[in-house]
Amino acid sequence: MKEKSLHITNAILFDEDMPLQGDREVRDITVRDNIITVTIAVSRENTIADRVSMEDAIRDGIQAEFPEAEVRIISLAIDGEDEPVGNCEHGGHSGASKELPPKKAIPGVKHVWLVSSCKGGVGKSTVALNTALALKAAGRSVALLDLDLYGPSIPSLVGTDLPPIVVGNLIVPPEIHGISVLSIGFMTESTQPLMWRGPMLSGVINQLLWEVDWSGHDDLVIDMPPGTGDTYLSILQSIEVDAAVLVTTPSELALSDVRRGVGVFEPYNVPIAGVVENMATYNWEGREAVLKLLDSLKIDSSSKESLERIKKILETTRSIRIFGNHTKEMCDDVKLPLITSIPLDIALQNDNDSGTPYMLNPKKAEIQKAFTDIASFLIKRAND
């Protein structure tokens, strides 16, 4: 299957009608269960549209030969003869070799967890921060790294932008709410747009990973940016990661992104711990007050039946699935555990946006439980 798919991929890649320019080559083909994942390096001169049409052409070609298989294509952008943009020089890579560089462990950190999703705005940063705090509450020493270099949101979620200090040659992350936190947002003006060119981006990632004193932590939780861009390549191919947690909302669109997200980790042998479903259900808090009010009304017997009907209707609003209910099915489909479901909570939104992390609000024990579930899941995985 592997040889045949290599043959097909090469034939498509070097077809004269392909809209690609410059260097291109097959970097990797993996076949696991029923899934064929092909990784291709293409010149950065190509537009995203060209890359997408190449991915589609290769996917269709392989699919035609292996109709039963699930085909995933990943294209890495390279600069001429260089390695994929965003590659970490700290990975010990020789430069000329076409092999992926060996991964390195972050010194002094026992476990590294990525919180990620292909889609933006599904709650990665919320989950990363509150999971870090839940791990801390479980008695662990925890650090949180915000790697969303274009839109760092951890400073506003923790409610502070304390600048890190430098001791010797190393940056020391500030301790906030009992965990060590580092974000590029601590080092830049919040009003300044963050635009990085490829080499700059990889330089900043290198700095945040290797020029920081991360030592003494049981867990480093990394809040990843949305998508599958250069930050992912830098991280997945250069550091040793225990596992990734995929965050999604139950909407069909978000779930199809999870399916795509699974294929991002596979070629780099980064395991996926499971899926966290965010904004899963909505609990209307006014419901209890309305029920109480109805009970206090003096109603004559002719209206009793209507009252009971109203109460029944209110009962169905206890937990509404606004965005759908497909996550479990999708998890079974991609063979990943559903770690937990976090309700949609207006208080959560207000607390986040006012800089009080949810785990620090004792009034919301029910939702805190979801973050504690994630922490327990990761601790169990770390101990297994």
Q: Which residues bind ligand ATP (CB under 6 A)?
A: 117, 120-126, 148, 151, 153, 226, 278-279, 342, 344-345, 348-349, 352-353
Q: If binding is defined by CB under 5 A, does position 368 make contact with Mg ion?
A: no
Q: Which one of ligand ATP, Mg ion, none interacts with residue 44, CB within 5 to 8 A by kind? A: none
Q: Per CB under 5 A, does 24 bind Mg ion? A: no
Under 8 Å between Cβ of 98 and 241: no
- Provide the 3-class DSSP secondary structure of residue 68: coil
Contact 259, 180 (CB under 8 A): no
Q: Which stretch binds Mg ion (CB under 5 A): 12-20, 45-53, 152-160, 165-173?
A: 152-160
In the complex, what is the shortest distance from the CB of residue 221 to ligand ATP, in angstroms, rounded to a whole number? 13
CA dihedral 347, 362, 152, 139 (to 10 degrees): -150
By a kind-dependent CB cut-off of 5 to 8 A, residue 146 interacts, out of Mg ion, ligand ATP, none, with none
Per DSSP, what are the bridge partners of residue 165? 172
With CB under 5 A, what is the number of residues at the site for Mg ion? Answer: 4
The answer to whether 335 and 329 are in contact (CB under 8 A) is: no
Residues 103-132, one symbol each (x = binds Mg ion by CB under 5 A, - = not), give ---------------------xx-------
> Measured between alpha carbons, how far is 290 from 300 in angstroms, rounded to an integer?
19
120 binds, options Mg ion, ligand ATP, none, Cβ within 5 to 8 A by partner type: ligand ATP
Closest approach of Mg ion to the CB of residue 248, in Å = 14
Question: Binding segment for Mg ion among 16-24, 26-34, 81-89, 151-159 (CB under 5 A)?
Answer: 151-159
Residue 226 interaction partner, one of Mg ion, ligand ATP, none, beta carbon < 5-8 Å per kind: ligand ATP
Q: At its nearest, how many Å lie between ligand ATP and the CB of residue 184?
A: 13
Which one, 73 or 262, has the nearer CB to ligand ATP? 262
Q: Does 153 bind Mg ion (CB under 5 A)?
A: yes
CB atoms closer than 10 angstroms to residue 246: 29
Q: How far is the CB of 208 from ligand ATP (least distance, A)?
A: 16
Of the pair 91, 155, the CB lying nearest Mg ion is at 155
Distance CA 119, CA 102 (A): 29
Would you report the helix, strand and coil content of the chain in percent, each value rounded to 5?
40, 20, 35
Q: 59 or 124, CB closer to Mg ion? A: 124
CA–CA gap between residue 198 and residue 354 (Å, rounded) = 33
User: Minimal distance in Å, beta carbon 180 to ligand ATP?
Assistant: 20
Minimum Å gap between C-beta 124 and ligand ATP is: 4
Q: Which residue is nearest to Mg ion (CB)?
A: 125
Instruction: Please identify, using beta-carbon distances, which residue of 9 and 153 lies nearer to ligand ATP.
Output: 153
To ligand ATP, the closest distance from the beta carbon of 260 in angstroms equals 15
Specify whether the CB–CB gap between 248 and 119 falls below 8 A: yes
Q: How far is the CB of 20 from Mg ion (least distance, A)?
A: 32
Q: CB neighbours of 51 closer than 8 A, spacing ≥ 6?
A: 20, 42, 75, 77
> CA-CA distance, 360 to 363, in Å (whole number)?
9
Cα–Cα distance measured from residue 162 to residue 257, given in angstroms and rounded to the nearest whole number: 34
- The CA distance from 225 to 240, in Å, is 18
**If residue 262 lies in a helix (H) or strand (E), which one and from where to where?**
helix 252-265
Please report how many Cα atoms fall inside a 13 Å half-sphere around the Cα of residue 132, on the Cβ side: 32
Q: Give the nearer residue to ligand ATP in terms of CB position, either 63 or 251.
A: 251
Cα(338)–Cα(267) distance, rounded to whole angstroms?
A: 22
Nearer Cβ to ligand ATP (62/344): 344
Residues in the chain: 384
Please answer whether residues 152 and 168 qualify as being in contact, where contact means their C-beta atoms are separated by less than 8 angstroms.
Answer: no
Q: Pick the closest to residue 116 from 87, 141, 73, 145 (CA basis).
A: 145
Residue 44 interacts with Mg ion (CB under 5 A)?
Answer: no
Please tell me whether residue 249 binds Mg ion under the rule CB under 5 A: no
* Contact of residue 202 among Mg ion, ligand ATP, none (CB under 5-8 Å per partner type): none
The residues of the shown chain that bind Mg ion, judged by CB under 5 A, are 124-125, 148, 153
